[in-house]
Amino acid sequence: MAVTKVSDEEIKSQYDYMNKIRSFNQGGKYFIFTLGCKLNEADSETMSGMLETMGFSKAESFDDAKIVIFNTCSIRENAEEKVFGKIGELKNIKDKNDMIICFAGCMSQEEHVIQKIKKSYSLIDIVFGTHNIYKFPELLYKKMVEKQNKVLDVLDIDGTIYEGLPVKRESTSQASVIIMNGCNNFCSYCIVPYVRGRERSRQPEEIIKEIEGLAKEGCKEVLLLGQNVNSYNPRDGYNFANLLSDIDKIDGINIIKFTSPHPKDFKDDVISVISKSKKISRVIHLPLQSGSTNILKAMNRGYTKEQYLELARKIKAKIPDALFTTDIIVGFPGETEEDFEETLDVVRKMNYEQVFMFIYSVRHGTRAEKMPNHIPEDVKSERFGRLKTLCDGMTEIGMNKYVGTVQKVLVEGESKTNKDVLTARTTSNKIVNFEGPKDLIGKEVEVKIVSQHVWFLKGELV
């Protein structure tokens, strides 16, 4: 697929719209409601950057916001119900605040959602898609200044990438960096290729420049993002292994993470680069989805159970301290009890650090929607419960291994439940809560782990 970069002139025109809005903005506030994956969170940071360039400041809730953006996700059916329910609750606030409601993200690329908005949701003022976030200032200008009734710019999934937009990041010590967008895999349960388009990779020079800038601002950790990061391929002769190697050389960046890789594309050169690096995380997210080769074939995943386990063995042989996390879908159409037992077998063999578990739900427009033998909800729930019990037991054993050890952690900020406690993460991505001075935020320190509490570790500053 041909990939084109949005021109510098087009980006400049968007800055012109930002400046025009800023010139008459009277200190308004914005609120972004984000659903979905890390890519959606990164897109929200870009929208925040544009809004703050326009003179808006972040609101703590919907109540005092002039601009509200719903950055939506299409992965699960209940996400659609949740977001439209929340929009319906805003009618009185909208009238009082003269609020502008914007609908963005993956859902806005679905035709049935657009028709639903046109028919039933006059509250929504602006709709834009995943491919044209860069045009948000222009669309907002048309609504705020030109007073257009409803502004829609969606559904044209093209092969564009854009650079140079402002970003307002949630953290000064950690940053998510999108290296590619879209997906070519067309897993039978997944809507992503239809709402984010085909794969398109940013040029490495742009990525390196962005990360070097982050390092100068004090950032210590970067998370490289893409629907399928290890198929990153901006040009012939340069791939994901090359990018990891180049980022590894950037002074100031001490921790490099990436998500999500695809098992079928996890090549030897990537394993080699990780094994030689002192910065790249040893926690490798390796999505399984199912342990049954039959179900994997129905999912169009491109690997078998045996190939997955062999890949994990190969990674462990080259990187002995590697740890694995994964995604698993329970109750995919046609999943038998034997298929599910195959999944449990892989979980036991892999001894995952963390398992992100999902009950299969139908997504409109996917091939799985029309498959026979959909699993009854009670069967899916029962299997999910068995998987959760197995994983919870393994998690408790894994967490106990940290007690009594000294861990190097990156301090993220104050605990959400206790401002006298700091929250940090180990290099293996475990949350650690400990007491310490606020000036440690953004720094790497050593803590001794004194106890485990299922979802976090309690530590003491060394």
pLDDT at 159: 65
Whether residue 78 is predicted with pLDDT greater than 80 in this model: the reply is no
User: What's the whole-number mean pLDDT along residues 208-237?
Assistant: 96
Assess whether pLDDT exceeds 80 at residue 156. no
Q: Could you give the strand order of the β-sheet that contains 57-58, starting from the edge strand earlier in sequence?
A: 57-58, 29-34, 67-72, 100-105, 126-128, 151-153
pLDDT digits (tens, 9 = 90+) for 23-56: 988 889 999 999 988 999 999 999 999 999 999 9
Q: Under CATH, which number does the domain 406-461 receive?
A: 2.40.50.140
pLDDT at 2 (0 to 100): 59
Residue written as tokens 């190697």?
A: 245
The residues near 117 (Cβ < 8 Å, ≥ 6 apart) are: 103, 124, 127
Topology given in CATH for the domain delimited by 283-397: Transcription Regulator spoIIAA (3.30.750)
Least confident interval from 78-87, 199-208, 299-308: 78-87
- The DSSP code for 130 is S
Question: What pLDDT, on a 0 to 100 scale, did the predictor assign at position 81?
Answer: 83
The full DSSP string for 3-39 is -EEPPHHHHHHHHHHHHHHHHH--S-EEEEEE-SSHH
Q: Is the pLDDT of residue 334 over 70?
A: yes
Q: What percent of the chain has pLDDT over 70?
A: 98
pLDDT value at 157 more than 80:
no
Q: Give the confidence band of 70 by pLDDT, cuts at 50, 70, 90.
A: very high
Banded model confidence at residue 312, pLDDT cuts 50, 70, 90: very high
As a whole number, the mean pLDDT across the chain is 94
Domain boundaries, the chain: 4-160, 171-281, 283-397, 406-461
* Amino acid of residue 383: R
- Please say whether the beta carbons of 150 and 125 come within 8 A: yes
Q: What is the pTM of this model?
A: 0.93
- Average pLDDT (208-228) is 96
What are phi and psi for residue 458, nearest 5 degrees?
-105, 130
Is residue 367 within 8 A of residue 402, CB to CB? The reply is no
Q: What is the 3-state secondary structure (H, E, C) of 266-326?
A: CCHHHHHHHHHCCCECCEEECCCECCCHHHHHHHCCCCCHHHHHHHHHHHHHHCCCCEEEE
pLDDT tens for each residue of 349-368? 999 999 999 999 998 889 99
pLDDT for res 155: 58
The C-alpha atoms of residue 155 and residue 196 are separated, in whole angstroms, by: 10
Per CATH, the number for 4-160 is: 3.40.50.12160
Q: How confident is the model at residue 261 (pLDDT cuts 50, 70, 90)?
A: very high
- Calculate mean pLDDT across residues 131-145: 94
Greater pLDDT, 433 or 97? 433
Amino acid 133: pLDDT: 93
State how far the Cα of 140 lies from the Cα of 148, in Å rounded to an integer: 10
Unique residue bearing structure tokens 């009277």: 26
pLDDT at 358: 95
331: left (phi over 0), alpha (psi -120 to 50) or beta: left
The DSSP-derived string for 389-458 is HHHHHHHHHHHHTTTT-EEEEEEEEE-SS-TTSEEEEETT--EEEE---GGGTTSEEEEEEEEE-SS-EE
137 touches 104 (CB < 8 A): no
* Fold agreement between 4-160 and 406-461: no
Report pLDDT for 158.
65
Specify burial of residue 147 (Cβ count, 10 A radius: 0-12, 13-18, 19+).
exposed
Residue 270 zone, left/alpha/beta (φ > 0; ψ -120 to 50; rest) = alpha
What is the fold of 171-281? Transcription Regulator spoIIAA (3.30.750)
Phi-psi region of 454 (alpha: psi -120 to 50; beta: other; left: phi over 0): left
Section 416-423 average pLDDT: 91
If pLDDT is split at 50, 70 and 90, which confidence band does 308 have? very high
| pLDDT reading at 1 higher than 60 | no
Percent over 90 (pLDDT), the chain: 82
Q: Is the pLDDT reported for residue 11 higher than 60?
A: yes
